[in-house]
A and B are shown apart, each in its own frame.
Chain A
Amino acid sequence: MVMIEKEKFSEEMVNLGEKYGRTRNALLPILQNLIESHKTLSDDMIREVADFLGIQPAEVYGVVTFYSFLNPEKRGKFRIYLCQTICCDMQGKAEIAKELEKELGIKFGETTEDGLFSLEYTNCIGMCDQGPALLVNEKVFVKVTPQMIKEIIEGCRLQKKEKLPQSNPINFLKILPDGLFSNVIPESGLKKALSIGRGETIKAITDSGLKGRGGAGFTTGVKWNLTAVAKDPVKFVVCNADEGEPGTFKDRVLLSNYADLVFEGMTIGGYAIGAKKGILYLRGEYRYMLPHLLSILEERRKNNLLGEKILNKEDFSFDIEIKLGSGAYVCGEETALIESLEGKRGEPRNRPPFPVNTGYLGHPTTVNNVETFLAAARILANGAEWFKKFGTEKSSGTKLFSISGNCKHPGVYELPMGIKVSELLKLVGGEDAKAVVIGGASGSIISPKDFERRISYEDLATGGSVMIFGKEMNLLKVAKNFMEFFVEESCGQCTPCRLGNVQLLKGIEMLQKNECSGQYLKQLLSLGETMKLTSKCGLGQSSPNVFTSLVENFPDEIGIKRED
Chain B
Amino acid sequence: MAKILIIDDDIDIVEAIGILLRTFGHETDSAFNKIEGEKKVESFKPDLIILDVMMEEADDGMVLARDLRSKGFEKPIIMLTSLGSVTGYSVGNEEGILPVDVFHEKPISPDQLISTVKKLLEGKK
Q: Mark B58-89, 1 if CB is under 8 A from A, else 0.
A: 11001100110010000000000000001111
**Docked-complex contact A229 and B87, CB < 8 angstroms:** no
**CA of A491 to CA of B67, assembled, Å:** 43
Instruction: Tell me, yes or no, whether B96 is within 8 Å of chain A by CB.
Output: yes
Which one of A222, A228, A230 lies within 8 Å of B89 (CB-CB)?
A230
A229 and B62 in contact, given A198-B95, A199-B96, A274-B94 (Cβ under 8 angstroms): yes
B97 within 8 A of A: yes
**CB of B57 within 8 Å of the partner chain:** yes
Total A-B residue pairs with C-beta atoms closer than 8 Å? 64
Does B97 lie within 8 Å of A203, measured CB to CB?
no
Q: Knowing A198-B97, A200-B70, A274-B97 touch, does A230 contact B62 (C-beta < 8 A)?
A: no
Please indicate which of the listed interface residues B70, B89, B95, B96 has the most CB atoms of chain A within 10 Å of its own CB: B89
Write the B84-122 contact mask toward A (1 if CB under 8 angstroms, else 0): 001111111111111100000000000000000000000
Q: How far is the CB of B38 from chain A (nearest CB, A)?
A: 13
Q: How far is the CA of A233 from the CA of B90 in the complex (A)?
A: 12
The answer on a CB contact under 8 Å between A230 and B90 is: yes
A231 to B89 Cα, complex, angstroms = 8
Is the CB–CB distance between A199 and B66 below 8 Å? yes
Q: Which bracket fits the contact residues of A?
A: 20 to 34
Contact B63 A221 (CB under 8 A): yes
* A225 engages B89 (CB within 8 Å): no
1/0 per residue, CB under 8 A from A, across B5-45: the answer is 00000000000000000000000000000000000000000
Q: Is there a chain B Cβ closer than 8 Å to A232's Cβ?
A: yes
Q: In the assembled complex, which residues on chain B have CB atoms less than 8 Å from the CB atom of A503? A: none
Q: Is A354 an interface residue (CB 8 A)?
A: yes
A145 interfacial contact with B, CB 8 Å = no
**B-contacting residues, A208-230, CB 8 Å:** 219, 221-222, 225-226, 228-230
Q: Which of B62, B66, B90 contacts A357 (CB 8 A)?
A: B90
Residues of A within 8 A of B91 (CB): 229-231
A225 touches B86 (CB 8 A): no
A229 near B95 with CB under 8 A, answer no
A359 to chain B, nearest CB (A): 12
On chain B, the residues within 8 Å of A483 by CB distance are none
In the bound complex, CA of A67 to CA of B57 (Å): 36
B89 with A354: CB separation less than 8 A: yes
Residue of B nearest to A233 (CB): B94
Contact indicator A353/B97 (Cβ below 8 Å): no
B6 to chain A, nearest CB (A): 21
Does A122 belong to the interface (CB within 8 Å)? Answer: no
* Residues of B contacting A203 in the complex (Cβ-Cβ under 8 angstroms): 63, 66-67, 70
Asked whether A358 is an interface residue with its Cβ less than 8 Å from the other chain, the reply is: yes
Give A225-264 interface residues, CB cut-off 8 Å to B.
225-226, 228-233
**Interface pair B89/A357, CB less than 8 Å apart:** yes
Q: Which residue of B lies closest to A224 (CB)?
A: B59
Within 8 Å by CB of B62, from A225, A232, A274, A352, lies A225
- List the A side residues contacting B57 at CB < 8 Å: 219, 222
| A309-358, CB < 8 A from B | 352-354, 356-358
B77 to chain A, nearest CB (A): 14
A354 to B83, CA, bound (A): 11
Distance between A224 CB and nearest chain B CB, rounded to angstroms: 9
Q: Is A447 on the interface with B (CB-CB < 8 A)?
A: no
Partner of A353, one of B89, B96, B98: B89
Separation of A219 and B57 alpha carbons in the complex (Å): 9
A392 within 8 A of B: no
Return the contact of B87 from the options A219, A222, A357 (Cβ within 8 A).
A357
Residues from chain A with a CB closer than 8 A to the CB of B70 are 199-200, 203
Chain A: minimal CB distance from B73 (Å)? 14
- Which residue of the partner chain, among B58, B92, B99, contacts A222 with CB atoms under 8 Å? B58
Q: How far is the CA of A233 from the CA of B92 in the complex (A)?
A: 9
A222 adjacent to B97 (CB under 8 Å): no
Residues of A within 8 A of B93 (CB): 229
Q: Once the chains bind, are B62 and A353 in contact (CB under 8 Å)?
A: no
Q: In the docked arrangement, what's the CA distance between A257 and B27, Å?
A: 59
In the bound complex, CA of A357 to CA of B97 (Å): 16
How many angstroms from the CA of A274 to the CA of B94 in the assembled complex? 9
Q: Are B99 and A199 in contact (CB-based, < 8 A)?
A: yes
Using A203-B67, A203-B70, A222-B58 as known contacts, say yes or no to A230 and B99 having CB atoms under 8 A apart: no
| Given A233-B94, A358-B88, 15 additional A-B pairs, CB 8 A | A198-B95, A199-B66, A200-B70, A202-B66, A203-B63, A203-B67, A206-B59, A206-B63, A225-B59, A226-B58, A226-B89, A229-B98, A232-B92, A352-B87, A356-B89
What are 6 residue pairs bridging A and B, where the CB atoms are less than 8 Å apart in the complex?
Answer: A199-B66, A199-B96, A228-B97, A232-B90, A233-B94, A357-B88
